[in-house]
Amino acid sequence: MADLFADLSALVTGRKVLGVFAHPDDETFFGGATFAACAAAGGDVRLATLTAGEAGAIGVGPARAAQDRSDRGALEAAAAAGLSRYASACTALGVRQFGVVGPGRWRDLGDAGPGSLAAGDPDEIAEAVRHLVTDYRPDVLVTVDADGVTGHPDHVRAHEAVQRALDLLGRTGVPALTLGGCVRSEDVVTARERLSGLVPDREIGTTRIVGTSADDVMAAEWSPEAGAAKLAALDAYAPGLGTAPLTDLVPGRSPVGDGVLLRAIAEVAGPPCEYFRPLRP
């Protein structure tokens, strides 16, 4: 395992790195320590989100309601709130170059309904990603794995868009390495057990977070400082999400959400340690 850690660390450190994800917070959950470590080492790191994190900022219900009634004012306010959190998280990671692709074109609505990223034209999204890759010309491209980790349809669409964009590029301008962020199934099991011990008989996240075999992924273990930066970035999305004890994060009566489960998974794996599936070459 030590060799595997060293291999991926060497492949990424000092390179031009581009992260493309569906929502603000995906970059932190699925690659925050990696981006922080690369930035701290002086690497050229850029992050891009395909939505502004509307549902993440104001809730799924309000975001969907605003979309359904075509309330542009409410949607723009939600987008501003989501991007403010994104900026704080990127700053915590030490990443200075970040932004949203096609502002307002696709929304984070918490579902796959009209107006969402998942409902967007796959070719149009892929073309937007292709332009991004062409303009930046990264050595390493990072997105989420094919299952979207949580199964969120926006996550899956982002993965598909990156793959389509690379197909469009052909052999010209394709990054040397493309990675899909993932979690290990063994860490998912342990995290669920840990949370179940805190809130017995409570639903723990969605059943779509299952993880992948450790044999199928590459891993990188970064410095404690990179892990701390990841946790600080999570705090930008919800107070204490990265640094508060799990006992403070589990709700009184409601099901435990995916965000808390992902935080628990990061705690089990160790915040400086992240896993990726090589997508290309």
Neighbours of 247 (CB within 10 A): 9
Mean pLDDT of all residues in 170-176:
87
Domains and CATH numbers, the chain: 2-280 (3.40.50.10320)
Mean pLDDT of all residues in 211-231:
92
Which residue spans within the chain are E strands per DSSP?
Answer: 16-21, 44-49, 97-100, 140-144, 177-182, 218-221, 273-280
Which pLDDT score, from 0 to 100, does residue 11 have?
A: 83
- 210: Cβ–Cβ under 8 A, 6 or more apart, which residues? 147, 185, 188
Between 1 and 249, the more confident residue is 249
* Digit-coded pLDDT (tens) for 136-151: 999 999 999 999 999 9
Quickly tell me which residue has 């390179």 as its tokens: 15
Q: How far is CA 167 from the centre of its chain?
A: 22
Whether the per-residue pLDDT at 272 is higher than 70: the answer is yes
DSSP code per residue over 202-242 = --BS-TT---B-GGG-EEEE--HHHHHHHHHHHHHHSTTTT
Whether the per-residue pLDDT at 207 is higher than 90: the answer is no
Which pLDDT score, from 0 to 100, does residue 7 have?
A: 65
Q: How far is CA 7 from the centre of its chain?
A: 22
Mean pLDDT of the chain: 94
